[in-house]
Each structure stands twice: as C-alpha cells, then as structure tokens.
Chains A and B, each alone.
Chain A
Amino acid sequence: MSHTTSSASPTSSAPPILEVRDIGKSYGAIRALHTVSASVGVGEVLCVLGDNGAGKSTFIKILAGAHAHTEGELLSYGQSLTFTSPRHALDLGIATVYQDLAVVPLMPVWRNFFLGSEITTGFGPFRFLDVKGMRDITKAELGKMGIDLRDVDQPIGTLSGGERQSVAIARAVYFGAKVVILDEPTAALGVKQSGVVLKYIAQARDRGLGVVFITHNPHHAYPVGDRFLLLKRGTSIGSFVKSEISIEEMTGLMAGGAELASLAHELQRR
C-alpha cells in the first residue's frame, strides 16, 4: 500500500487557502475524527473520499465552522485559527453547500439565492429589499452557470436535484467564496444530473476557486480531482495528488479486502 503524504502544493508555492494539519474532533468520549491533514489552493479540487461513517461529515463541519476542532491546526492562507461560527468561515470566503443545499423549498429561487445576504436599498429603518435587482442578478448568475430558468419566482422546491445543486454552487460563487465545500453533491443524483454537477465543479475550479468535493464515489472524484484525501473510521488512510494514484488503486484503498474482488469484477465489465 503506497502511503504518500504530500505537504507542498503542486500548483503554487503560496500558502493554500485552507489547510488542516493533524486535525481532529471529539464529541465527549467519541473521537469522530483524528490526525487528518489536507489542503486546498487556488484553482484546485480536493476530493474527500470515504464510506459512510468515515468522518466526512465531521470533516466538513470543521471546515465550515459549524463545529470547532479539538485537535490539530486549521489554517487559512497560512494563518492558524479556530472558527467560531459558520458566519466566521463564510466571512473568510469558505462557503459550504450542504447535502440539503441550505435552501428553503417553499421560497422562490431568487429569495433562496440571496437568503441571509439580501440586497437592500433605502436607509435606516426603511431599508427594503431590492427585489428587481436580486431577481436580475439571480437570473444572470444562473445563466453564467448555464442554468436557464424561465421564472426565478418559482419555489426552489420545484427544481430538479441537479438544478438545485447548481443554484447552490452559483450562490456560493457569487458571494465571493474562495473555497466551496460540496457535501456529497452527486449522492442523490442520477447519472446525467451528476455529470452536470461535475461540470459545474470544473467550471468553479477554472474560475480560480478552491473546491472541496466530498463524495463516496471514486468515479465522480477522479475526473475532477487534483488531490485526494481518503478517510476511513475517522482517520486518514492516505492523501495523494492525482499523479500518485490511479482510480483502481483509489477504489481498492477505499473498499479494501473482500469487497475489492467483487468491485473489481464490476468495474471490469464497464
């Protein structure tokens, strides 16, 4: 088993936007995550792979500022810090797109797009929403992502899974995210819709964003990823840059032992 930990960024020598060193988190007596190191830089995609219960959720919560880490170090642009709230992480340009997408299904698309960061006009107690402005920006921003909605007033719950995912990504990008953390964006999607989401990930990367892509599917991760962090039972079982690992090796590491044989068989038939 080749186990390589690369600490230097392959694309630039500047400090990565977001880096964790031997990070961990305990909930009381339960160690949900320990000694995990990874980093993501400008225009990079870090894929975090692991099966259910591997610690992916805990990892995201630390990066997103939802839970403070209890071990190790978290650095943004080389500066060590501890997030106090999701707002804190957001202010540093770290946006998280959760599995439930943090959207309110009954609310219109444009209201969801600007939720929590609404544009207002007027002053003092008479501040009110710039409805037209927000509608127009929503339509334009979604257009840039290649999503053409005829009506941004429709409840976001009426969009398809891929579309909703894309709206959430577009929202993060528009609000100046430097790093977008995507929590299993393809987990609930069909093949075609997953492809759409992978395309948006590549698009976000090309626009100079760092992307943290959490998934349990190596076939989704490998084509877009630059770095791969493999988690198992709350700890890292390997951290690789793309040139160091093939998709077969990665799948093997993830599945391990007995499951590997049947999986390899399944893969060969493709």
Chain B
Amino acid sequence: MTLTAPTATAAPAAPPVDERLTPAGPIVKLLRRPEIGALVAALAIFAFFSLTTEVFLSPAGVSTWLYSASLFGIMAVAVAMLMIGGEFDLSAGAMTGTTGLIVGVMTTQWGLNVWIAMLIALAVALTVGASNAIIVMKTGLPSFIVTLATFFILQGVNLAVTKLITGSVVIQGMGTVPMFDQVKVFFGSSFTLFGMSLKIAVIWWILAIIVATWVLIRTRAGNWIFAVGGQLQSSRQVGIPVMKVKIGLFMTTAGAGWLVGMLMLFDVSTVQATTGIGQEFIYIICAVVGGCLLTGGYGSAIGAALGALIYGMTLQGIVFAQWDNNWLKAFLGGMLLLAVLVNLYVRKRAGVRS
C-alpha cells in the first residue's frame, strides 16, 4: 500500500490529470501482454534457422515443423488454460497414448466400429480428467501430485494392457480397419496451401487457439478461469462455481489429449504403448514460455501456441541443421529459464503488485 497524495498537494496548479498513475505508453501496454516474450523468441528462432539451414523454409520443411508444433500446440493451449486456472496436469501426455491405444485395441483386436471406439476413448479421457479434478478439489492436494499419480497409472496401464491383449507394445494394422479412411479425412489428411502440403492437425491447432482465446477473453467461463487461478478464495466469495470451472479445465485438457491421440493415430496408422510419455513437461514449458505464470491467474492461449511453435521449430530446425539431437533438451531448459525471467521482469514493469 502506498500513499502518493502529497505530490498532488505540492502542485495544486497542475492540470487535472490523475497524479496516481504514470501514463501507460504503448510500449508498456505491449509489454503487459503475456505473449510478447514468446513472440520475440519465435521470430528470432524462425530467422535463425531460416538463415542457417536450407530446408527450414522449404515447403517440406515448413510442413514438418508446423505439424510438430501443432501437436504440441493443441496440448499447450489446453494446458495453458488449466495453468491459468491454477492447476497442472502431468497425465496429459500419457493421455494421448491411452486414447490412441483404446481405439487401436478396440478396432484391430475386437473389430469394433472405429467411430464408436473413438467415442469410448473420449469418454474414458473425460472421465479421467474429471476424476483428476474431483480428487484435487475434494482433498486440496496439489494437482501436481494427483496428476503425477494419474500419469504413472496411465503409463503402466498403457504398457501392461497393450502387452496383455496384443502380445507386443505396438498396435499396427489400423489402416485395414473399416471406415478408417472416413475418419482419416478429419484426423489424418493433408491439404495443399501455397505449395505446402500441410497436415490437418494444423487446422485443429488454429481452431484450438481461436476457441481458447475467445473463451478466455470474451466469455464468463474465461473470466472465471483467470479468477480461480488468480485468487481462489476471492472467486469463492464472489460466487464463482469453482468446482465446475476446475472440472471443466481438467476435462478440456484430457479432451485435448484425446484429440492429439486421434491425430497421431490416424496420421501414421500405428500407436505405441509409450506414446506421449515424457511430453507432459513440454506442454507446461510451452505454456510458460508463452507467458503463463506457474502460480496461475495469468497467461494466454496465443502465448502457449507460440511456445509450441518455438518448440516445433527448434525440434525440427536442429534436425535440419544436422546437429546432435540432444541439444534440444539443453535449449529447452535455457528457454524455460529465460521465459521465467522475462515474465518476472514484465510483471514488474507492468506494475502488478501482489
């Protein structure tokens, strides 16, 4: 708390501007945007790989890193919403494997209709998401721990059950399943744009960004997401249905896991029991690089999408540049640290106190 009134009494002849605030110029206003740091970084990385490698800007190159970014991006957008709402979901990565495996097993082993199998997988995902939320909210335990448990459960079940049913850790032969081509139109097809062959996942990604941004900025639900993540107690006091918001967020993340699971399954027609393991932290890193605060209440879907774009570009750019792939992890760590520092700086610049 500050008292800045004395300056006003010292200069009574001053024009009637609000003396409590220094004017917020366009630069400060821009810096207040959560995604600004990620935008600058994305442009820099884009320029770097465009100049140092030949493949990066070629149609095939763009198509490759955009696809990579889109799969991470869909998850990052959902995880960003969840993080703005003040929670983590470490089971999000394993969920992409679980949903793919459910559809794979049900169609190739049991001959179930592929659409029905997809609905069942979605139902399972949403149930797991909801139960994550209910456990977190009922017990007050950190979502980090609860979803870490879910993550291990899913990881174990994915491997054990797949082995039990198929005798191996990979499900193949999705391509021969009836109506596979029908589903592939929505989840595994490609289209040509400006001479580039783009995967349909890119469209889903863009849709996810638009819907998430709209929800966050222009709907009541979005307002509530920011509120429950920013100050849970206050949210309860003003009558926000906290439980519903959190359940919705966890279900959204699980639903996004299902979508990405389907996109990967119908792209390559196979699914490995280890799919998605180890990706959960990348989603969180993408969201943080995109300006989400780890403490909740602040961030943006566009920022998270930019974070995923940075990851996708770097992942493929390192391959194009023929560097050792292991540099990616080191880069990721550096990027995360930088992002956290930039976020801290930006928040101070924007004058946000508590």
Contact = CB atoms under 8 A, between A and B. Distances in A.
B274 interface: no
Interface string A83-105: 00111001000001010111111
Contacts of A120: 219-220
A148 B20 CA distance: 10
B238 A115 contact: yes
Contacts of B324: none
A150 B21 contact: yes
For chain A, what secondary structure do more than half of its interface residues adopt (helix, strand, loop), or is it mixed?
A: loop
Given A104-B227, A106-B298, A155 B350 contact: yes
Contacts of B193: none
Contacts, number: 108
Nearest to A64: B237
Nearest to B214: A128
A5 B17 CA distance: 51
Interface stretch (B96-104, B110-118, B228-236): B228-236
B220 A129 contact: yes
A131 B219 CA distance: 10
A9 interface: no
Which bucket holds chain A's interface residue count? 35 or more
Interface string B1-33: 111110000000000011011001000000000
A103 B227 CA distance: 8
A245 interface: no
Nearest to B5: A192
B220 A86 contact: no
Contact of B220 (A127, A189, A192): A127
Contact of B234 (A103, A160, A163): A103
Contact of A154 (B2, B4, B21, B222): B21
Contacts of A105: 230-231, 352-354
Contact of A107 (B17, B18, B220, B227): B227
A148 B16 CA distance: 11
B140 interface: no
Contacts of B266: none
B351 interface: yes
A102 B354 contact: no
A138 to B, nearest CB: 13
Contacts of B354: 105, 157
Contacts of B3: 160, 190, 192-193
Contacts of A150: 17-18, 21
Interface string A110-128: 0100111110100000011
Interface in B105-141: none
B237 A86 contact: yes
Nearest to A90: B239
A104 B220 contact: no
B283 interface: no
A157 B298 CA distance: 13
Contacts of A163: 20
Contacts of A111: 223, 226
Nearest to A188: B1
A151 to B, nearest CB: 6
B294 interface: no
Contact of A160 (B4, B222, B233, B240): B4
Nearest to B227: A104
A154 B24 contact: yes
A86, A106, A127, A160, most chain B CB atoms within 10 A: A106
A122 to B, nearest CB: 10
Nearest 7 interchain pairs by C-beta: A116-B238, A104-B230, A102-B237, A161-B1, A102-B234, A104-B231, A128-B218
Interface of A: 85-87, 90, 96, 98, 100-107, 111, 114-118, 120, 127-129, 131, 148-151, 154-155, 157-158, 160-161, 163, 188-190, 192-193
6 contacts: A103-B231, A105-B230, A107-B227, A114-B223, A116-B240, A190-B1
Given A105-B352, A148-B18, 11 more contacts: A86-B237, A90-B239, A98-B237, A104-B234, A104-B235, A106-B352, A111-B223, A115-B238, A118-B220, A157-B353, A189-B1
